[in-house]
Amino acid sequence: MIPLDASTLNASGLPWHVRVLDEVGSTSDWLKQNASELPTGTVVFTESQTAGRGRRENRWIAPRGKDLMFSLLLKPEAPLEKWPRITTLAALGICKAIEAELPLQPRIKWPNDIYLQDRKVSGLLAETVSTREGMRIVLGIGLNVNALDFPPELNATSLLRAVASPVLHEIDRNALGCRLLGALHAEFSRIDEDYTSAIAEVRERSWLIGRQIRCRVEGHPTHGRVLDLNEEGHLIIAMPDGTTATLTSAEEVRDASA
């Protein structure tokens, strides 16, 4: 195992302030607790996360030293009402970084998961936090890199497992992390002026378009077929009664055929 190294992760020359913690409860919780003392652009990686969280307080489980678990402190250069776009842009950046490093075709499972070969490889969680300098976003990202064993109920995979190369035994997490930070920086710059073209690229990588889904919206179950994404990246679905609906948020989005 090659340990994470802050100087290598920050080798892109971009305005990130990278830290590596050996172990932490949650990188996002650590950032939220220390946000007022940290510069915008702080990125915290960890080798081991004992209380990682996903959406709906689900735990993010990863073995020590195998994967990438990190959080970013952000202040998007856009009006507050456009800040929710960060999750979509981050998902696109993760896909592009994977595509640049490996012969894989990641897909975005709205609203905040990345899939490879119909299995989850990455998850994102964006939260707002108030600091002395105003509102910020804490964006947590988990990416399965070198782990090989997953409980069947998680329906998960890793980059190493998906590549399935007999000669590749470990993916360089430092190189991949550096690539990720570069891709995220590039995509975040599109939050205002270039968001429409970004959504076109997200659409090309959508895992849900064309699928029948079941989900919960504000606690109520619903289902339909995903037709498209709108200009904000929200789901447009065909309902059973022949009407269409736009989902701006939802819980438990699942492939109805699974």
For the chain, the domain total comes to 2
In a domain, 51, yes or no: yes
In a domain, 229, yes or no: yes
Between helix 85-101 and helix 173-188 the angle, nearest 10°, is 140
**Residue 235, domain extent:** 212-255
Query: Within 10 A of 177 (CB to CB), how many other CB atoms are there?
Result: 27
In a domain, 53, yes or no: yes
Q: Which of 204, 227, 246 is the last residue of a domain?
A: 204
For residue 194 the two structure tokens come to 């270039």
DSSP 186: H
Q: Do 99 and 185 fall into the same domain?
A: yes
Q: Do 145 and 233 fall into the same domain?
A: no
In a domain, 1, yes or no: no
pLDDT tens for the chain, 258 residues long, are: 899 999 999 887 899 999 999 999 999 999 999 999 999 999 999 999 988 665 545 566 789 999 999 999 999 999 999 999 999 999 999 999 999 999 999 999 999 999 999 999 999 999 999 999 999 999 999 999 999 999 998 899 999 999 998 888 999 999 999 999 999 999 999 999 999 999 999 999 999 999 999 988 777 888 999 999 999 999 999 999 999 989 998 777 899 987
Type of residue numbered 234: H
* Kind of pairing between the strands at 220-229 and 42-49: unpaired
Give 195-217 pLDDT, tens digit per residue.
999 999 999 999 999 999 998 87
We report the CATH number of the domain holding residue 245 as 2.30.30.100
Q: Could you give phi then psi for residue 202, rounded to 5 degrees?
A: -65, -45
How many helices, marked H, and strands, marked E, lie in the chain?
Answer: 6, 12
At CA 29, angle to CA 23 and CA 34, rounded to 5?
95
